[in-house]
Amino acid sequence: MLTIRSTGPDQTQSVAKKLAALLQPNDLILLIGDLGSGKTTFTQGLAAGLQIDHHVKSPTFNIVNEYHQGRLPLFHLDVYRLEKTGGADMGLEEYFNGGGVSVVEWPKFIAHELPAEFLQIELQKSEAINDDEQRKLVLTAKGDRYQQLLSDLAIKLKE
Ligand SMILES: Nc1ncnc2c1ncn2[C@@H]1O[C@H](COP(=O)(O)OP(=O)(O)OP(=O)(O)O)[C@@H](O)[C@H]1O
Ligand SMILES: [Mg+2]
């Protein structure tokens, strides 16, 4: 586990950019946190770090937005709207095995469809009212690949 403090959106995106440089095909990142905690903001930094110069917005009509112009494909899934139905029979594994990087906002709504190994990033807002831009990023790895990724990121963040 790795905990990182962020004092604003730029800092959250800077962490995401450093992570992006370490990503490999079929990597999976789960983003957890309340509404407005910064999941999409983080994804924007990740996209920039993958050299995708396209404005990343949350998928509105679709569940998934795909970006193919960067170092690796980026599949941005926001599955909030699957709260009631779940994600069975939607072919989501095509993204997870699709040779790109998959980022999932609200992964708890597709818990049954998720691969066993991933990097989870929880964005926690500060309790203090005058601390609008403070976030705590708590990163947890499941599986060897993601343990390695996390330790590589820890080194990169110290550089
Ligand atoms: N340290 C920070 N890290 C990330 N975002 C921050 C930070 N401080 C302030 N913000 C702001 O918080 C908001 C986060 O919005 P964002 O859409 O990224 O949240 P989200 O977690 O994706 O929400 P949703 O669950 O609705 O999809 C943005 O307006 C961003 O500028
Ligand atoms: Mg979002």
Question: Can you list the domains of the chain with their CATH numbers?
Answer: 2-158 (3.40.50.300)
Using pLDDT thresholds of 50, 70 and 90, give the confidence band for residue 126. Answer: confident
Residue 139 parent element (H or E): strand 135-142
Average pLDDT on 119-134 reads 90
Confirm or reject: Cβ of 33 under 6 Å from ligand 1: yes
74-78 β-sheet, strand order? 2-6, 135-142, 118-125, 28-32, 101-105, 74-78, 64-67
Confidence at residue 59, expressed as pLDDT on a 0 to 100 scale = 78
Judge whether residue 52 has pLDDT over 80: yes
DSSP for residue 123: E
If you take atom 25 of ligand 1, which residue's CA is the nearest one?
A: 35
DSSP for residue 61: S
Q: How many residues does the chain have?
A: 159
CA of 105 to the centre of ligand 2 (A): 7
Judge whether residue 130 has pLDDT over 80: no
Confidence at residue 45, expressed as pLDDT on a 0 to 100 scale = 98
Torsion of CA 72, 68, 6, 151, to 10 degrees: -10
CA of 55 to the centre of ligand 2 (A): 13
CA of 111 to the centre of ligand 2 (A): 18
Per-residue pLDDT tens digits for 84-121 = 999 999 999 999 999 999 999 999 999 999 999 999 99
